A and B are shown apart, each in its own frame.
Chain A
Amino acid sequence: MSALDLKLLRDLWRLRGQALAIALVLAAASATYVLAAGVHSSLLRTRDAYYARNHFAEIFAGVTRAPRNIAARIAAVPGVQRAEGNIIQYARLDLPGRIEPVRALVNSVDEAGRTHLNTITLRRGQPPRAGHAGDVVVDESFADANGLDLGSTIDAQIYGHQVALHIVGVGLAPNYIYALAPGDIVPDERRFGILWMGREALEAATNRRGAINAVALTLDRGASESEVIRKVDALLAPYGGTGAYGREDQLSHAFLDSELKQLAAMAAVIPPIFLIVSGFLVYVVLGRTIRTEREQIGLIKAFGYSDWVIGWHYLKFALAIALVAIVAGSLAGIWMGRAMTGLYAQYYRFPFLQYSLSPTVFLSAGALAAGAAGLGAAGGVSTAIRLNPAVAMTPPPPPVYRTGLVERLGQLAGFTAIGEMIVRHIARWPGRSAVTLFGVALSMGLLFATIQFVEASRTMVDDYFARSQRDDLTVTFTEPRNADVLRALAQLPGVLRVEATRALAVRLSRGNRSERTAIEGVDPASTLTARIDSGGEEIALPPAGLMLSRQLADQLHANAGDLVRVDLLGGHRTSLSLPVVRIVDEIIGARAYAPPATIDKLSRDASPAGGALLKIDPAARDRILMRLSAMPVVLGVAERAVALARFQQLIRQNILTMIGFYVSFASAIAIGVVYNSARILFSERAHELATLRVLGYQKREVAVVLLGEIALLVAAAIPLGCVVGYGLAHLMIAMFSSDLFRLPYAATRASYGYAALVILAAAISTALVVARRVGALDMVRVLKARD
């Protein structure tokens, strides 16, 4: 090993505390990147492989009832590669020992027990056999959650028919990676399952002999999706087509896509914060090292070492730190990635989902970390390269202090000499002070934005459930019903109030923009639902016209007062032009609301209830659920309390895991920044601190010089951190919001306080660790040396 490399190793060892503090921040950059990009690429590759292998369709369409041969006509549409017609039907399952209704979505398979698109991956067993009417394949999560397996039998009510189902296979399919029951917002595999059943049996059960109610198709390469959708809609219109849609509107795909977007956003937003901070830390520490080694550099150059050898020597210092950070950060990222992938596997049903270690992710993480360290080192390295040996070997000129504005203010404020020392040192090294200031502010901002994330999720739960959904049970009917059903429900003992719900599938258009969505009918007299805006205010529904959620209004470029064309999908295919009377900032989904009269005008039928909201006496819950289960008209029942518990569990698991990571990450920045600035401050001022001790200042008083500067910078960083956090939180909201939900800005003053407290605790404890060195100052030795 060359003497210069030995020097490098010993320098690293001597500065190990500071080097490790930088490595900590840089490791956080690598870890967050490996975590987000790694999980993103694992999820994306798994999804794409699954989609390709199982022929996930590209366009989907629902229809009331169409002849089976419509599929062949659709397949003949230019641009369509393959088309398939199926029956997809909700059913109610009666599982032994379960009082609450359990719902299933039953899909048809052909005579050979297969589908050609959205094919089933069988985990065990076999496909439904021809001639065995009750044979079904059950989705794996549902089977596992309910203790079902091959050979189990289930009683089901499909389209009013009682059918005994016999489980012959357990599997899963790419169109149900995220399986959400109607009315639910979190998957509940205990209460909602996917079934696959032989076509003939399902035709018989749903009175659709020779007919289908769903179409799926794939496209030729380069075919226009919108063009094909237009032609498919035209073909299906006579049969009650409800509008074809692409993958972006397919529920499972949309949820997965929103998750992928969030991961991509995380990889794009979070690691750069750490990279910037660590780059600046390298800049400060290496700059200081090179200043103190000025004479050595001159000497080494005088011996005949080239400028570039010296430059490379100091660059290696930065790269060595980066190397440690890359290894440690990647390991941490892998560990966290595994944990997060495990969480995903609970909510997304993949045949295989493993956190796979892609070399690209590691190479990018490494390049980013080395790049940040290298850029940070650039300033110091070029100083070392440019240093003239003759000049370098003479001592540097003393730092020049001038009486500036800050000092005059200090004098006016009657600062003590110690106070002046602190303030002037900050002003003397503005770059370094700025690094400390912004580093701490960024760490606080990151923490604040993460806390806001938790608050936002809590607000979502609070607004969506506690305030906007006040019913205890949401009953869905097998098909829209009239008021008789509502009366029957109201007469059940223990039912306190019944309100009808109705949602119509529509296409809203304005100009050349159009969106598929549902219009929810809202009775102004309703007490069991309310719409809460993102500010937490309850919004009254206008007596006529449409109310749009902000997201939907943005998608349509619609403002209050604009006219929007509404096409009912299916049914009478009514078209109306309705004014937008109000736009509401809502959290969940892109939704539209209209009063019952408008809904009736659109639907033109006498079945105003698609479902019902029930307020019940909790003591009567079990009895009511049993009675509901016995009513053929009831497809399913969602329980508010269960959904609330599920959602809270999701938040706890998923989001709190992330929060845990980010509290550590944000603290890592604060610790890294404060430790480095305190150490540099200490070594720079050791002489002055010793002088103060000689003059009769106690250790505690001397520590004030050290801690005072850090304290001033940290104190200034806190309000700045609030601003940074506010901006970062909004950036995260923008990047994390999807069509499915939009995070509210829900930070409170307490969120600022909590973020500030964590950062203060990290900063104070770190500074105190360094301040302890004041006690060990050797006055005699320090003063013998020339400053």
Chain B
Amino acid sequence: MATDAADASSDGPIAFRSVALEKSYETGETSVQALRGVDLAIPLGELLVLLGPSGGGKSTLLNIIGGLDRPTSGQLFYRDTELTALDDRALTRFRRAEVGFIFQFYNLIPSLTAEENVRLVTDIATDPMSPAEALALVGLAERRGHYPAQLSGGEQQRVAVARAIAKRPGVLLCDEPTGALDSATGMRVLEALARAHEELGTTVIIITHNVGIAAMAQRVFHILDGRIARVERNSKPVAPRDIRW
């Protein structure tokens, strides 16, 4: 692995670029500085891992990138669009068109079957794949009629992956996708993510504090105290099944 700057403008077209992103939260009388001037460039179609201890600002950065949250100051661009200049409706449209989210706790709708959870996204996307196709991509074609309560944790997370990739998103944002899973199940989820990355060419950003997972990334940002402390480039990413947990 080689160490490099957070600037990757030399690596071809850029998905995300930020300038001096700052984010502070007011909690009562104290102010928490979650991001302290983040400048980054994430190349299009890359698989990136954000690594670092809890409270370092990884989730805050991911949420801002995904349009769930807004920075206190600074600029963020997705391709040619300045996300930081968009209003709430436009940010929602951005999420609807470009972003697939995967969370630690799946966030499936319990009243909808696996297939219908995927349909939730395909109902509103412009050029989605069919829910069956998305579920087949994550190896759950057989379980499409099951409700979340009838699926294991790993299966639920793969439904979440299918739901995220069904719209053919420009970017997949994964916040601790394997955090609640054992290693074998986690590996299957990561395989599903890797497959989406390869077959759809999607930019994938994964938050983890599992150092082993960083081995499958092309680039790793080490986040510490609200800054990108270090960037590693990985010329030979390993397949998920070869990851050591």
Interface, chain A (partner B; CB < 8 A)? 397-403, 416-418, 420-421, 424-425, 428, 687-688, 691-699, 701, 779-780, 783-784, 786-787
Of A400, A424, A687, the residue contacting B149 (CB under 8 A) is A400
Chain A residues in 8 Å Cβ range of B66: 694
**What distance in Å separates the Cβ of A694 from its nearest Cβ neighbour in chain B?**
5
B123–A401 touching, CB < 8 Å = no
A421-B99 Cα distance, complex, nearest whole Å: 23
Of A416, A418, A428, A779, the residue contacting B68 (CB under 8 A) is A779
Chain B residues in 8 Å Cβ range of A692: 120
Query: In chain A, what residue has the closest Cβ to B91?
Result: A696
A416–B107 touching, CB < 8 Å = no
Report if A398-B148 is in contact (Cβ < 8 Å); known contacts: A421-B111, A428-B111.
yes
Task: Let me know if B101 is at the binding interface, CB within 8 A.
Answer: yes
Report if A400-B147 is in contact (Cβ < 8 Å); known contacts: A687-B107, A694-B68, A695-B101.
yes
Interface residues of B in 66-98 (CB under 8 A from A): 66, 68-69, 88-89, 92-93, 95-97
A417–B119 touching, CB < 8 Å = yes
A671-B103 Cα distance, complex, nearest whole Å: 37
B124–A783 touching, CB < 8 Å = no
Could you show 7 A-B contacts with beta carbons less than 8 Å apart? A401-B149, A420-B116, A691-B109, A696-B96, A698-B89, A783-B103, A787-B105
Task: Let me know if B145 is at the binding interface, CB within 8 A.
Answer: yes
Report if A416-B92 is in contact (Cβ < 8 Å); known contacts: A400-B149, A694-B68, A694-B107.
no
Chain B residues in 8 Å Cβ range of A416: 119, 123
A416-B119 Cα distance, complex, nearest whole Å: 8
B147–A787 touching, CB < 8 Å = no
Chain A residues in 8 Å Cβ range of B69: 779-780
Chain A residues in 8 Å Cβ range of B89: 698
Task: Let me know if B112 is at the binding interface, CB within 8 A.
Answer: yes
B95–A694 touching, CB < 8 Å = yes
**What distance in Å separates the Cβ of B13 from its nearest Cβ neighbour in chain A?**
23
**What distance in Å separates the Cβ of B9 from its nearest Cβ neighbour in chain A?**
29
Query: In chain A, what residue has the closest Cβ to B125?
Result: A696
B105–A695 touching, CB < 8 Å = no
A464-B111 Cα distance, complex, nearest whole Å: 59
From B66, B93, B124, name the one whose CB has the most chain A CB atoms within 10 angstroms: B124
A688-B68 Cα distance, complex, nearest whole Å: 15
A696–B99 touching, CB < 8 Å = yes
Task: Let me know if B117 is at the binding interface, CB within 8 A.
Answer: yes
Task: Let me know if B212 is at the binding interface, CB within 8 A.
Answer: no
**What distance in Å separates the Cβ of A125 from its nearest Cβ neighbour in chain B?**
79
B103–A696 touching, CB < 8 Å = no
B92–A693 touching, CB < 8 Å = yes
From A397, A403, A420, A425, name the one whose CB has the most chain B CB atoms within 10 angstroms: A420
Report if A695-B96 is in contact (Cβ < 8 Å); known contacts: A780-B68, A780-B69.
yes
A417–B110 touching, CB < 8 Å = no
**What distance in Å separates the Cβ of A575 from its nearest Cβ neighbour in chain B?**
79
B120–A417 touching, CB < 8 Å = yes
Chain A residues in 8 Å Cβ range of B116: 417, 420
Task: Let me know if B33 is at the binding interface, CB within 8 A.
Answer: no
Task: Let me know if B63 is at the binding interface, CB within 8 A.
Answer: yes
**What distance in Å separates the Cβ of B142 from its nearest Cβ neighbour in chain A?**
16
Of A400, A420, A428, A783, the residue contacting B107 (CB under 8 A) is A783
Query: In chain A, what residue has the closest Cβ to B147?
Result: A401
Chain A residues in 8 Å Cβ range of B99: 696
Q: A420-B116, A694-B68, A699-B88 are known contacts; what are 16 more A-B pairs with Cβ within 8 Å?
A: A403-B145, A417-B117, A417-B119, A421-B111, A424-B112, A425-B111, A687-B107, A691-B107, A694-B101, A695-B124, A695-B163, A696-B93, A696-B95, A697-B124, A698-B89, A779-B68
Task: Let me know if B121 is at the binding interface, CB within 8 A.
Answer: yes
Chain A residues in 8 Å Cβ range of B96: 695-697
**What distance in Å separates the Cβ of A690 from its nearest Cβ neighbour in chain B?**
8
A418-B103 Cα distance, complex, nearest whole Å: 21
A424–B124 touching, CB < 8 Å = no
Chain B residues in 8 Å Cβ range of A418: 120, 123
Task: Let me know if B208 is at the binding interface, CB within 8 A.
Answer: no
A399-B109 Cα distance, complex, nearest whole Å: 11
A688-B145 Cα distance, complex, nearest whole Å: 20
B95–A695 touching, CB < 8 Å = yes
Chain A residues in 8 Å Cβ range of B93: 696, 698
From B99, B107, B111, name the one whose CB has the most chain A CB atoms within 10 angstroms: B111
Task: Let me know if B113 is at the binding interface, CB within 8 A.
Answer: yes
B103-136 to A contact mask, C-beta < 8 Å, 1/0? 1010101111100110111011000000000000
A784-B55 Cα distance, complex, nearest whole Å: 13
A397-B147 Cα distance, complex, nearest whole Å: 14
From B66, B116, B148, name the one whose CB has the most chain A CB atoms within 10 angstroms: B116
A420-B93 Cα distance, complex, nearest whole Å: 23
**What distance in Å separates the Cβ of B28 from its nearest Cβ neighbour in chain A?**
15
A697–B68 touching, CB < 8 Å = no
A736-B92 Cα distance, complex, nearest whole Å: 59
Report if A421-B109 is in contact (Cβ < 8 Å); known contacts: A694-B95, A694-B101, A697-B96.
yes
Report if A399-B95 is in contact (Cβ < 8 Å); known contacts: A694-B68, A779-B68.
no
A693-B110 Cα distance, complex, nearest whole Å: 16
A425-B63 Cα distance, complex, nearest whole Å: 29
B112–A421 touching, CB < 8 Å = yes
A417–B112 touching, CB < 8 Å = yes
A400-B113 Cα distance, complex, nearest whole Å: 11
> Which are the 9 A-B pairs with shortest beta-carbon distances?
A696-B96, A424-B111, A696-B95, A417-B120, A417-B119, A691-B107, A398-B149, A417-B116, A401-B111
**What distance in Å separates the Cβ of A424 from its nearest Cβ neighbour in chain B?**
4
B103–A695 touching, CB < 8 Å = no
**What distance in Å separates the Cβ of B141 from its nearest Cβ neighbour in chain A?**
18
Report if A420-B111 is in contact (Cβ < 8 Å); known contacts: A694-B68, A696-B124, A786-B105.
yes
Chain A residues in 8 Å Cβ range of B117: 417
A401-B150 Cα distance, complex, nearest whole Å: 9
A779-B93 Cα distance, complex, nearest whole Å: 15
A688-B69 Cα distance, complex, nearest whole Å: 18
Query: In chain B, what residue has the closest Cβ to A426?
Result: B111
A787–B107 touching, CB < 8 Å = yes
**What distance in Å separates the Cβ of B50 from its nearest Cβ neighbour in chain A?**
16
A178-B147 Cα distance, complex, nearest whole Å: 71
B149–A697 touching, CB < 8 Å = no
Query: In chain B, what residue has the closest Cβ to A775?
Result: B88
Chain A residues in 8 Å Cβ range of B163: 695
A425-B109 Cα distance, complex, nearest whole Å: 11
